[in-house]
């Protein structure tokens, strides 16, 4: 039974507003009135035979409410789609309506007599569509792929199209390009499965690798050489100071042996002068390793404080003949 009376349409409009989610109860009366007005506008278009315009009004409300709360409207949409000869969407809306009614029955919710009547009508219309139309079951694709039947709008692969018995053209599309085109023949009451084309798996580039590179202002060999020279330079003051100590011991030994001849006193004086000279030389040569140690310390500080660290990103770069590597350096 088709949608016939204004009183029935008004009752459905009220039922639609009442069935909206609890959050909608907080909406003001103006919002609810707007929904009722939009539904009435769609009903007027439907009664005038302007089914496309009626679908435009009702689909907007249906999407706002969702299949669960707008299930009553899905029945009206199914009728409008069937009048518009879009049997695919008509069947989908009938199925959605029946699914929601069955869910309410399983939840032990009361099913009004008018809904039971619409449920029977929906089942009868579905059976008639399945018997009188052919069904093209376009299976889902592993990759993103659209399909269109004849002149219909393209849809993501993975749907059932209700079509008139006879020949049809199925086109698989990705982006703006046609991937595959097939001509099929379907009979009334027949379900024809259509597998999407097997597309090559996308080439996965090698993962991008990131490495960190540490650079110093000069090679460590400079530190090793400076350290070695510093160590070697310590030998010079050690030797000179050892010589001064030897002269002092000889001088002290001469003074303590009890002999005080003029020659011995002269020799002691000469040894004292030699000791003073040797000691001065030892102190002077001590400045060499101290200076080299200071220089080496400065080099060590420069080596570490002057360190630069950079991040190197190795990115795959495709070419017609090979896969190159592109390095991007970030400081």
State the CATH number of the domain containing residue 148.
2.60.40
Do 57 and 90 lie in a common domain?
Answer: yes
Please answer whether residues 183 and 167 qualify as being in contact, where contact means their C-beta atoms are separated by less than 8 angstroms: yes
The pLDDT assigned to 11 comes to: 54
Q: Is residue 328 assigned to a domain?
A: no
Please check whether residue 323 lies inside any domain of the structure. Answer: no
Same domain, 59 and 10: yes
Instruction: Report which listed range, 115-124, 249-258, 263-272, is most confident.
Output: 115-124
Q: How many degrees, rounded to 5, is the angle at CA 298 between CA 295 and CA 304?
A: 145
Same domain, yes or no: 225 and 178: no
Residues 254 and 242: their CA atoms lie apart, in Å, by 19
DSSP element (H, E) containing 215: strand 209-215
Give the pLDDT confidence score for residue 213 in this predicted structure: 77
pLDDT at residue 329 is higher than 50: no
- Whether residues 119 and 177 fall in one domain: no
Same domain? For 52 and 63 the reply is: yes
DSSP class of 217:
S
* Same domain membership, residue 274 and residue 253: yes
Q: From the CB of residue 146, how many other CB atoms can be counted at a distance below 10 Å?
A: 18
Q: Cα 144 to the chain's mean position, in Å? A: 18
Let me know: does 182 contact 194? Beta carbons within 8 Å: yes
Beta bridge partners of 138: 159, 194
User: In which domain, by residue range, is 81 found?
Assistant: 1-130
Residues 186 and 265 reside in one and the same domain: no
Q: Are residues 20 and 4 in the same domain?
A: yes
Do 158 and 100 belong to one domain?
Answer: no
* Number of domains forming the structure of the chain: 3
User: Is there a single domain that holds both residue 312 and residue 219?
Assistant: yes
Claim to verify: residue 16 and residue 122 sit in the same structural domain? yes
Say if 236 falls within a structural domain: yes
Look up residue 151 and give its DSSP letter. Answer: T
pTM score > 0.75 for this model?
no
Closest by alpha carbon to 163, among 86, 94, 96? 86
Same-domain status, 250 and 303: yes
Question: What is the percent of the chain with per-residue pLDDT over 70, rounded to a whole number?
Answer: 82
Distance from C-alpha of 312 to C-alpha of 299, rounded to nearest angstrom: 28
Assess if residue 324 is contained within a domain. no
For 233-265, write each residue's pLDDT tens digit.
Answer: 778 778 777 877 887 777 677 667 655 667 667
- Mean pLDDT over residues 224-237, rounded? 81
Quick one: 168 exposed, middle or buried, by C-beta within 10 A (0-12, 13-18, 19+)?
buried
Residues in the chain: 331
């Amino acid at each position: 039974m088709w949608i016939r009376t204004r009183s029935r349409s008004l009752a459905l409009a009220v039922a639609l507003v009442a069935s909206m989610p609890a959050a909608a109860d907080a909406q003001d009366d103006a919002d609810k009135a707007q929904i009722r007005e939009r539904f009435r506008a769609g009903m007027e278009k439907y009664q005038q035979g302007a089914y496309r315009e009626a679908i435009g009004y009702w689909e907007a409300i249906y999407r706002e409410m969702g299949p669960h709360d707008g299930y009553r409207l899905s029945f009206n949409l199914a009728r409008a789609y069937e009048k518009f000869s879009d049997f695919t969407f008509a069947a989908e809306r009938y199925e959605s309506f029946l699914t929601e009614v069955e869910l309410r029955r399983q939840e032990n919710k009361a099913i009004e007599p008018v809904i039971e009547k619409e449920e029977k009508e929906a089942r009868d219309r579905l059976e008639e569509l399945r018997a009188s139309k052919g069904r093209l079951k376009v299976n889902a694709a592993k990759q993103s792929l659209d399909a269109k039947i004849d002149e219909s709008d393209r849809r993501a692969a993975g749907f059932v199209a209700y079509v008139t018995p006879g020949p049809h053209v199925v086109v698989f599309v990705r982006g703006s390009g046609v991937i595959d085109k097939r001509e099929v023949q379907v009979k009334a009451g027949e379900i024809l499965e259509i597998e999407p084309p097997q597309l090559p798996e996308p080439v996965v580039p090698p993962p991008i690798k990131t490495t960190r590179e540490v650079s110093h202002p000069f090679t460590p060999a400079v530190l090793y050489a400076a350290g070695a020279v510093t160590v070697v330079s310590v030998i010079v003051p050690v030797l000179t100071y050892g010589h001064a100590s030897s002269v002092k011991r000889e001088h002290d030994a001469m003074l303590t042996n009890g002999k005080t001849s003029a020659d011995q006193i002269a020799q002691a004086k000469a040894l004292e002068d030699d000791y003073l000279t040797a000691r001065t030389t030892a102190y002077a040569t001590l400045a060499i390793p101290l200076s080299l140690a200071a220089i080496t310390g400065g080099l060590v500080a420069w080596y570490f404080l002057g360190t630069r660290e950079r991040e190197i990103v190795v990115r795959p770069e495709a070419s017609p003949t090979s896969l190159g590597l592109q390095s991007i350096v970030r400081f």
